[in-house]
Chains A and B, each alone.
Chain A
Amino acid sequence: MSYVLRRLGFYVVAAWVAVTMNFLLPRMMPGDPATAMMARFEGQVSPEALEALRETFALTDDPLWIQYIQYVRNTFAGDLGISVAFFPAPVTDVIGTGLMWTCVLAGSALVISFTLGTILGVISAWRRDSPWWGRMLPPALALLGAFPYFWLAMLALWLFGFTLGWFPLRHAYGDAYDPGWNLPFLVSATKHAILPAATIVLATLGNWLLRMRNNMISVLGEDYIALARAKGLADHRILIHYAARNAVLPSVTGFGMALGFVVSGSLLTEIIFAYPGQGYLLIQAVRTQDFALMQGLFLAITFAVLAANWIVDVLYMWLDPRTRSSRS
């Protein structure tokens, strides 16, 4: 258990760094941050916005450490200030509305892409001499991965949404349905999620495939694989129990780290599809210069990524017996 607890400690430190950065960034501006912002936007920021900002970030005349304590206290009490873009809703409420949609979209896309990419990677490493699996598929997916996510999303929306009309164009579910556990709503929500999820899967698939393929190739060169072959074990047994199980470990570690990256990409995808998740809120915040909402989103997304990473750690412990015994 100590492995999981140690990782938990790390996430607490990471969360603290995120909170502290959120506190320091506005203060690192030369001079008084509020005035500096005022100067930058030449009066485009309304007085209410400035007031909300000062209050949230405890921008008072107190010494820095008192401001900091005040700020941390506010943050942990769930008070992230008032949103300007959705005035007068508190930032916490605004973020709360979108968090579920992002988790569902990015989460399911990530799981599908990881599973599919890993399986394809195993096959492509095993059959690396076949012209299709070995020589065509990896570069083709690498090419797909080179496109910006949001550009793939634009293309998909234009092609399958506007031109062919196969999928709905925007939002997460049809206006006629009541959100809840009823069939028509779920069908509508799934229909809306297919296109954005598919673009994320397509853009990230190559990454998982190549990673798994490289791990597999190096594991397949190990002596214990040769031994397994010499013992006359069946190919599929060697492939799954001997090679894939060991080769997947670095991919799982990478999963946690890729999470932040994929979430960033899926935020941009959400913007294209006007999907009501965190990405959509983020662009609203950027357009209206809603600093409180931006900073709140940064915290919320970071915390979500940290939590997901912890789940991956628990999974990793289950996959790799070596972490279960407590090492010194």
Chain B
Amino acid sequence: MSPLLKNRSALAGLGILAVFAVLALLGPWIVGDPLAFVARPHEPPSTEHWLGTTGQGQDVLAQLVVGTRITLAVAFVTGVLVTMFGALIGTAAAYFGGRIENALSLLTNVFLIMPGLPLAVVIAVYMPAGPVTITIVLVITGWAWNARLLRAQALSLRERDFVMAAIVGGESHLRVIVCEILPNMTSLLVSCFISATIYALGAQVGLEFLGLGDISMVTWGTMLYWASNDAALLTGSWWMFVPTGLCVALVGFALVLINFAVDELSNPRLRAERAWRGRLRREGVRVTASTPVLRKR
């Protein structure tokens, strides 16, 4: 964690996330009732309502703040579940090999290739609308990518001596996978979790925008749904959708920044190159295609 805090992009990402986390936790106490009728519909931003009002005369800022909680909760819970599910299938495929691997890989590839949104719609429409349904649907449509990535990593770990030793030592399959293989790919798991959360955030907002969420709840997705339903574009009420999208993008961007940093820290090639370039810059040497020789001071 401490090298992560020294990295500038990681620090920026964590900072943005912290702000939104505070909003998610304390939001409902900071602002008023997001569904209350407070002013005339489609009011532009003013000193009284900083982000204007919706087509139903509700305060946009209040909705944005209150909506943070469910939106982020669904994104992070989905991220965790997708990573867990992907890790389990991926490592199981790599660990057992043979027919089990073939079957699991086939399943993974089939789910990878199927277009997510139409599949999500077909599943979601048969279930009661709400955040739980959205989470389940996103896990079903999103696990395969991680399973594939983690399988490749687990395949190489599978042949290591310490895994062999654990198997020979008579450890159970589950214990070898959970206690020997998974802890050795922590950095990959972290980066998978971050990508899965980014995916979950975007896909969740997309599904809710389509009207597949619980439209009586306040989330960023349903806000966009109502913005489009209340003709935000036709009336030129940009304040109904611009801040919401910016928040989605900010959270996504913060996660991307952290992912960059994790990538850099866990990829020895990038890390070595960064160190080398830093050294060259300190010595005042211009970086070119040829390798300069430096005298040790």
B110 in complex: contacting residue of A17, A145, A150, A282, CB < 8 Å: A17
Considering only residues 228-255 of chain A, those with a C-beta below 8 Å from chain B are 229, 235
Contact B253 A146 (CB under 8 A): yes
A217 vs B264: C-alpha distance when bound (angstroms): 12
Q: Is A294 an interface residue (CB 8 A)?
A: yes
Q: Is the interface of B mostly helix, strand, loop or mixed?
A: helix
How far in angstroms is the closest Cβ of chain B from A188?
A: 21
How far in angstroms is the closest Cβ of chain A from B54?
A: 15
Contact B241 A154 (CB under 8 A): yes
A99 vs B36: C-alpha distance when bound (angstroms): 43
Residues from chain B with Cβ under 8 Å of A37 in the complex: 126
Contact B252 A268 (CB under 8 A): no
Nearest B residue to A29 via CB reads B126
A11 vs B112: C-alpha distance when bound (angstroms): 12
Contact A142 B253 (CB under 8 A): yes
How far in angstroms is the closest Cβ of chain B from A12?
A: 11
Q: Mark B36-63, 1 if CB is under 8 A from A, else 0.
A: 0000000000000000000000000000
Residues from chain A with Cβ under 8 Å of B113 in the complex: 11, 14, 256-257, 259-260, 305-306, 309
Contact A142 B256 (CB under 8 A): yes
Residues from chain A with Cβ under 8 Å of B85 in the complex: none
Residues from chain B with Cβ under 8 Å of A297 in the complex: 118
Q: Mark B215-227, 1 if CB is under 8 A from A, else 0.
A: 0000000001001
Nearest A residue to B117 via CB reads A264
Q: Mark B92-135, 1 if CB is under 8 A from A, else 0.
A: 00000000000000100110111111110111011010000000
A298 in complex: contacting residue of B110, B112, B121, B277, CB < 8 Å: B121
Q: Is B289 an interface residue (CB 8 A)?
A: yes
Among B212, B232, B253, B277, residue most surrounded by chain A Cβ atoms (within 10 Å): B253
Q: Is B15 an interface residue (CB 8 A)?
A: no
How far in angstroms is the closest Cβ of chain A from B167?
A: 28
Contact A298 B256 (CB under 8 A): no
Contact B112 A147 (CB under 8 A): no
Contact A268 B206 (CB under 8 A): yes
Considering only residues 262-297 of chain A, those with a C-beta below 8 Å from chain B are 263-265, 267-268, 271-272, 282-283, 285-287, 289, 291, 294-295, 297
Q: Is A326 an interface residue (CB 8 A)?
A: no
**8 other contacts beyond A149-B206, A286-B121, A295-B122, with CB at 8 A cut-off?**
A29-B126, A148-B245, A148-B248, A151-B245, A152-B245, A263-B117, A268-B210, A289-B125
Contact B114 A14 (CB under 8 A): yes
Nearest A residue to B209 via CB reads A150
A272 vs B145: C-alpha distance when bound (angstroms): 28
Contact A155 B122 (CB under 8 A): no
Q: Is B233 an interface residue (CB 8 A)?
A: yes
Q: Mark B249-283, 1 if CB is under 8 A from A, else 0.
A: 11111011100100000000110010001000000
Residues from chain A with Cβ under 8 Å of B110 in the complex: 13-14, 17
Contact B242 A264 (CB under 8 A): no
How far in angstroms is the closest Cβ of chain A from B258?
A: 12
How far in angstroms is the closest Cβ of chain A from B114?
A: 6
Q: Is A85 an interface residue (CB 8 A)?
A: no
Q: Is B205 an interface residue (CB 8 A)?
A: yes
**Interface size of A by Cβ–Cβ distance < 8 Å?**
65
Q: Is B287 an interface residue (CB 8 A)?
A: yes
Contact A151 B115 (CB under 8 A): no
Q: Is B170 an interface residue (CB 8 A)?
A: no
Contact A301 B228 (CB under 8 A): no
How far in angstroms is the closest Cβ of chain A from B145?
A: 8
Q: Mark A212-237, 1 if CB is under 8 A from B, else 0.
A: 00000110010000000100000100
A6 vs B236: C-alpha distance when bound (angstroms): 53
Q: Is B176 an interface residue (CB 8 A)?
A: no
Residues from chain A with Cβ under 8 Å of B114 in the complex: 14, 17-18, 260, 302, 305
A294 vs B211: C-alpha distance when bound (angstroms): 14
Q: Is A166 an interface residue (CB 8 A)?
A: no
Contact B236 A264 (CB under 8 A): no
A69 vs B185: C-alpha distance when bound (angstroms): 45
Q: Is A322 an interface residue (CB 8 A)?
A: no
Among B125, B128, B145, B203, residue most surrounded by chain A Cβ atoms (within 10 Å): B125
A206 vs B119: C-alpha distance when bound (angstroms): 25
A129 in complex: contacting residue of B198, B232, B257, B287, CB < 8 Å: B287
How far in angstroms is the closest Cβ of chain B from A247?
A: 14
B206 in complex: contacting residue of A18, A21, A150, A217, CB < 8 Å: A150
